[in-house]
C-alpha cells in the first residue's frame, strides 16, 4: 500500500531528524552543523565568477547539502524538519514506491557541494528510501574560493576573508593551497604585508607593478625562499608555514628595522628562535 507506506516514511524521516538534532545537542555540536546551507550566503562569501551548464548527471545524494530557497523545511541531510512539506512529500514517496519515474532535479554545484534549485522533496524522499544517487541537471558555479563538503555556516566568514585576500593578492590558482591561516583576521594582515612589499619593489625598480605581478613576484622571490629557510632552520614550530612566515617577517622588522633578508638578519632570527625554544623547555 504505497500511500500508507509513504505516510510511515514521512513520520520515520521526521523522527530521524529529531533524533539527529538531539544527538548533536548531546555531543555539543553547534546548530549550524545540521543546517542546510543557504546558496546566496555561500555565494556572497565565496564570490561568484561564472556559471555553465554541466548537463544531465547522476549525482551522489550525500553531496547535496544546500538549497536556494527552502532553508527552513529540511536539515542538511534533507530530512523534513517541518510538517509544511508533508502532503507533497508523501505524494512523491508514494509515486516512487509505485516505481513511477521522476524528472531530474535541478542542482547548482560549487566545488564539492550541491544546492537544490528545484526538487527538494524528491531529494528528501530519495534519501529517506535509502537511495544513494539521483538524476540531476547540474549547473556548475565557479567561485573565487572553493568549498569542501564539510563547510558550514560558521565557516562562511572565514571564507569571506579568504576571498578578499585573493582579490587583493591574486596568486595563481595552483599556488593558493600554500597559504594556510587559522585566524581569519591574519588574511588582512598578510594582504597588507604583500601590498607593502609590492610598493617597496616598485620603488626599487622605479616602475609600477600590478597586483598580479606583485603577487607572483612576492610568492617566488619572498614567500617561498623564506619558508624554505624557516624549514631548514627548524623555525616553523607548531604554526602553519604562512603563520611562521608572518611572525619572523614582523620580528625581522621589529629587531632590525629592515625588510631585507641577508645572512645577518637570518642568523639573528635563528638565534632568537633558539633562545625562545630553550625558555619553553
160 within some domain: no
Instruction: Indicate if 107 and 234 belong to the same structural domain.
Output: no
Question: What is the three-state SS of 113-129?
Answer: EEEEEECHHHHHHHHHC
Residue finishing a domain among 116, 149, 182: 149
Residue 47: the pLDDT is 93
Least confident span in 29-33, 43-47, 92-96, 141-145: 29-33
Which pLDDT score, from 0 to 100, does residue 242 have? 95
Ramachandran category for residue 139: left, alpha or beta (phi over 0 → left; psi -120 to 50 → alpha): beta
- pLDDT tens for residues 14-59? 888 888 777 766 666 555 556 789 999 999 999 999 999 999 999 9
Are residues 29 and 111 part of one domain? Answer: yes
Residues 141, 221 within the same domain: no
Q: Do the domain assignments include residue 127? A: yes
Residues 257 and 118 in one domain: no
Q: What is the pLDDT of residue 14?
A: 87
- Is pLDDT above 70 for 265? no
**27 and 91 in one domain?**
yes
Side-chain-facing half-sphere of 220: CA atoms under 13 Å: 7
What pLDDT score was predicted for residue 279? Answer: 46
With respect to residue 158, please indicate whether it lies within any of the assigned structural domains. Answer: no
Given a cut of 80, whether residue 105 has pLDDT beyond it is yes
List C-alpha distances in Å: 55 to 27, 104, 131, 198, 262.
40, 11, 21, 43, 55
Counting the structural domains of the chain, the total is: 2
Do 57 and 108 belong together in one domain?
yes
| Residue 9: CATH number of its domain | 3.90.1530.10
State the pLDDT confidence band at 3, using cuts at 50, 70 and 90.
confident
Could you list the residue range(s) of the whole structural domain that residue 246 is in?
Answer: 169-280
pLDDT at 138 over 60: yes
Order of strands, sheet of 48-60, starting from the edge strand that comes earlier in the sequence: 37-38, 64-67, 113-118, 105-110, 133-143, 48-60
Q: Taking residues 176-191, what's their average pLDDT?
A: 93
Q: Which three cell numbers stand for residue 97?
A: 514506491
Whether residue 228 is found in the same domain as residue 144? no
Does residue 163 lie in a domain region? Answer: no
Are 6 and 138 contained in the same domain? yes
- Residues 45, 122 within the same domain: yes
Domain edge (last residue) among 118, 149, 180 = 149
Return the pLDDT at 274.
Answer: 44
152 — pLDDT class (breaks 50, 70, 90): confident
Amino acid at each position: 500500500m504505497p500511500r500508507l507506506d509513504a505516510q510511515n516514511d514521512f513520520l520515520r524521516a521526521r523522527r530521524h531528524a529529531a533524533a539527529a538534532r538531539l544527538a548533536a545537542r548531546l555531543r555539543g555540536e553547534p546548530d549550524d552543523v545540521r543546517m542546510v546551507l543557504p546558496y546566496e550566503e555561500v555565494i556572497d562569501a565565496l564570490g561568484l565568477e561564472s556559471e555553465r551548464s554541466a548537463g544531465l548527471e547522476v549525482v551522489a545524494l550525500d553531496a547535496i547539502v544546500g538549497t536556494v530557497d527552502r532553508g527552513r523545511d529540511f536539515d542538511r541531510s534533507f530530512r523534513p524538519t517541518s510538517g509544511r512539506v508533508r502532503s507533497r512529500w508523501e505524494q512523491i514517496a508514494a509515486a516512487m514506491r509505485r516505481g513511477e519515474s521522476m524528472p531530474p532535479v535541478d542542482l547548482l554545484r560549487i566545488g564539492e557541494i550541491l544546492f537544490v534549485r528545484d526538487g527538494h522533496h524528491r531529494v528528501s524522499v530519495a534519501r529517506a528510501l535509502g537511495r544513494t544517487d539521483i538524476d540531476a541537471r547540474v549547473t556548475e558555479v565557479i567561485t573565487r574560493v572553493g568549498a569542501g563538503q564539510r563547510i558550514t555556516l560558521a565557516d562562511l566568514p572565514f571564507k569571506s576573508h579568504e576571498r578578499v585576500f585573493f582579490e587583493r593578492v591574486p596568486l595563481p590558482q595552483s599556488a593558493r593551497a600554500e597559504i594556510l591561516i587559522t585566524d581569519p583576521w591574519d588574511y588582512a594582515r598578510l594582504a597588507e604585508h604583500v601590498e607593502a612589499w609590492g610598493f617597496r619593489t616598485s620603488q626599487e625598480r622605479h616602475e609600477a607593478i600590478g597586483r598580479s605581478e606583485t603577487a607572483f613576484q612576492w610568492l617566488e622571490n619572498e614567500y617561498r625562499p623564506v619558508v624554505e629557510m624557516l624549514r631548514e632552520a627548524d623555525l616553523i614550530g607548531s604554526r602553519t608555514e604562512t603563520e611562521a612566515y608572518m611572525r619572523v617577517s614582523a620580528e625581522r622588522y621589529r629587531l632590525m628595522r629592515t625588510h631585507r633578508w641577508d645572512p645577518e638578519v637570518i642568523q639573528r632570527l635563528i638565534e632568537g628562535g633558539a633562545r625562545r625554544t630553550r625558555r619553553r623547555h
